[in-house]
Amino acid sequence: MALLVKNSRDNGFRIRFVRPDGRQASLRLDTASMRHAEQVQWFIEDLVASCKARMPPSAAAAAWVGRASDKVRRQLEWVRLAETQRRRALPTLAEWLREYIARRSDVKPKSRLHYSCVAEDLLRFLGGKTRIDRVSASQAKGFPAWLKSVRRLADATVHMHCRRARQFFAAAVRERLVTENPFAGIRYGSVANPKRLYFVTREEAEAVLKACPTDEWRLIFALCRYGGLRCSSEVIGLRWKDVDWARMRFAVHAPKTEHCLRGLRNVPIFPELLPHLKAVLDQGEKNEDHVIKRYRNPSQNLTTYLHSIVLRAGLKPWPRLTQNLRSTRETELAEEFPLHVVCAWIGNSGRVAMKHYLQVTEAHFEKAAGVLPRSYAAATRQALPTELARDWAGLPEHIRKAILMLASTALRTRF
């Protein structure tokens, strides 16, 4: 029979019982919940009875012993109610992060690089010699503020750093190095950052295409802007054997989604892509494998090259150069095709598209207000025949609006 006693000092609980050898013993619990303490009392009685009968304990009692904290486990071992467990010495934070990153050979190189960046920030904030079980929840709460104030990282980057830190300590919990994850339950905000969204208009895209130095670069930009491919993994991985000219589509191998979507999707050869694909095909050799021959070295950063090309085009580089090209294309396609079709072409989910890709543009406001977009109106006036342009001012207002509306619709369907 075990007796449950409440401590007057710390409002904790202690269980007094008689050991199987007849000696008195007590077990201090690390809980302030009466319900939890009563459950532990029942487990202790079960363990004592099973030891006396030389029988294995019940499944519930054995499971409780298996998930008990190190403090409680050591007490159970001391009173001979649990087998002595061989324990490894608790590592420091630096040792555990180094061990965890080294064993994750299943992740891609960029993910390992991100692991290392987050680990470096954790060591700067918490100290490399700190033992892993000494990291508290209050310290974890201060990590996001430190990333913002000292490292000056954006909210989305802070969110990703804290999620990665929570992953590190979750692995330590599974290894039974710590009993609780200090980063669990802490809200870090949203990873979405609408301020960094930018719609790359067709006029800007044409200016960049004219500034591209080679046909390959024009194709790289067109694949990102009009094909919605990720740069550079999907662009560089495109092969000529993946292009189906008969059905006017090509297969895209996406390393980022190969773990969940098999990393393969089919994308139409949009009219905007066709001339650039043919230009590169005409210049290449018949037995060539990859569509993009240059820039195959992983150390080459295509975004840096694209930044200089945008400057050469006389434009101000927009934030997230390549990501916003995909975002712009998905926004355009979502106005013409169902969302599930667009997501299948772009290679993301509807939830991700709504949160990170789809944009509200100025053209949406103009359309809702019944105002003809200025770019369509200007382009239509320039394309008018000489006779009609001469008599434009004399046409009735409703006739002019009807002509401009028809012209703008023709331009949208053309592109």
Nearest-CA neighbor of 147 among 188, 186, 107? Answer: 188
User: 110 or 32, which is more confident?
Assistant: 110
**Whole-number pLDDT of residue 353:** 85
- Locate tokens 């993301």: which residue? 348
Segment 173-184, tens digit of pLDDT:
888 788 789 998
Segment 57-91, tens digit of pLDDT:
888 888 888 777 777 877 888 877 877 655 557 88
User: 386 or 223, which is more confident?
Assistant: 223
- Domain 198-360 belongs to what topology? hpI Integrase; Chain A (1.10.443)
Written as six digits, the tokens of 34 are: 């009466």
Written as six digits, the tokens of 408 are: 């703008």
Segment 192-248, tens digit of pLDDT:
778 889 999 999 999 999 999 999 999 999 999 999 999 888 898 899 999 999 999
**Whole-number pLDDT of residue 393:** 58
What percentage of the chain exceeds 70 in pLDDT? 83
d(CA 76, CA 69): 11
**Whole-number pLDDT of residue 215:** 92
**Whole-number pLDDT of residue 205:** 94
**Whole-number pLDDT of residue 46:** 87
**Whole-number pLDDT of residue 345:** 93
- With 0-12 / 13-18 / 19 or more C-beta atoms within 10 angstroms meaning exposed / middle / buried, residue 394 is exposed
Q: With DSSP H G I counted as helix, E B as strand and the rest as coil, what are the percentages for the chain, rounded to 5?
A: 55, 5, 35
CB burial string 83-110: b at 16+ within 10 A, e below: eeeeeeeebbbbebbbebbeeeeeeeee
Top-confidence range, 252-256, 338-342, 360-364 = 338-342
Q: What stretch of H or E contains 18? A: strand 13-18
Confirm whether 93-191 and 198-360 share one CATH topology. Answer: no
Mean pLDDT of 151-170: 90
Nearest-CA neighbor of 188 among 168, 171, 166? Answer: 166
Beta partners for 244? 249
CB burial string 256-282: b at 16+ within 10 A, e below: bbeeeeebebebebbebbeebbebbbe
- On the question of pLDDT at 413 being above 60, the answer is no
CATH of 93-191 given 3.30.420.40, 1.10.3720.10, 1.10.150.130, 3.40.50.300: 1.10.150.130
Nearest-CA neighbor of 333 among 306, 353, 351? Answer: 353
- On the question of pLDDT at 117 being above 60, the answer is yes
Radius of gyration over alpha carbons of the chain, in Å? Answer: 32
| All structural domains of the chain with their residue ranges | 3-78, 93-191, 198-360, 365-414
**Whole-number pLDDT of residue 380:** 46
Instruction: Give the phi and the psi of residue 131 in degrees, each rounded to 5.
Output: -70, 145
**Whole-number pLDDT of residue 187:** 73
